[in-house]
Amino acid sequence: MARPDSALSIAKRRHLQWEAMLVIVLVVSLVAGRVLSPMFLSSANFSNMLADFTEIALIALPMTLIIVATEIDLSVASVLGASSALMGVLWHMGLPMPLVIVIILAAGTLAGLLNGLVIVRFTWLSLAVTIGTLALFGGLAYVLLGDQAIADFPAVYGVRHRHGGRLVPADAVHPGNPRRDRIRGAVAGDAVRP
């Protein structure tokens, strides 16, 4: 008859084998990427990757904790949408962007708190609660914006472009911007007059 601790040691060995296999797959992927493209492990590529998936990672990493706790939150996208709609409305009202950012962070936090309190207080399934709040926050976004779009944000808060090996605000590379030459000089490392 097998001892109970031997079953535990078998499980530990299998777990370590799985983790070792993941490390091997990661190393093989990195080496293959480098062989196939000399730009794969470059700082420019890492910068582009970070710029592309930072927003998704900020949402996905906390979701990982929820999933590890064997729960689910289906309302994440609608909270993002409602917060974005609120940001547009507040900006359109003339509030300064730093204040708008604080308000939408508070609104998103309160939306998550509402989900958590309802789930814990009433011991309802997170799936059911977050399906409901998905519709609630999605509807709130529609109430805030309707069928209009607000897109007059300053370019400094917009898309960033690669210029001279560095990410710069979108308005720095577009013609017609009076700051363009000054920003380009600063990016290139030239002496810039104030």
Walk along the chain (194 residues) and give the pLDDT tens digit of each residue: 556 567 667 777 777 788 889 999 999 999 999 999 989 988 888 888 887 788 888 888 989 999 999 999 999 999 999 999 999 999 999 999 999 999 999 999 999 999 999 999 999 999 999 999 999 999 999 999 988 888 888 777 765 555 555 555 555 545 555 544 444 444 444 444 44
Residues 132 and 142 in one domain: yes
Count of structural domains within the chain = 3
Dihedral sign computed on CA atoms, order 128, 132, 138, 140: negative
As a whole number of angstroms, the distance between CA 28 and CA 115 comes to 41
Picking from 172, 140, 163, the residue whose alpha carbon sits closest to that of residue 75 is: 140
Picking from 108, 113, 115, the residue whose alpha carbon sits closest to that of residue 131 is: 115
Residues 33 and 17 in one domain: yes
Q: How far apart are the first and last CA of the chain?
A: 82
Residues 139 and 90 in one domain: yes
| Domain of 109, in residue numbers | 72-153
- Whether this prediction's pTM lies above 0.85 is answered by no
Residues 78 and 123 in one domain: yes
CB 91 within 8 A of CB 100: yes
Residue 61 lies in a domain: no
Residue 119 lies in a domain: yes
**Ramachandran sector of residue 183 (left: φ over 0; alpha: ψ -120 to 50; beta: rest):** alpha
Residues 105 and 84 in one domain: yes
Residues 87 and 148 in one domain: yes
Residue 183 lies in a domain: yes
Residues 160 and 149 in one domain: no
Residue 193 lies in a domain: yes
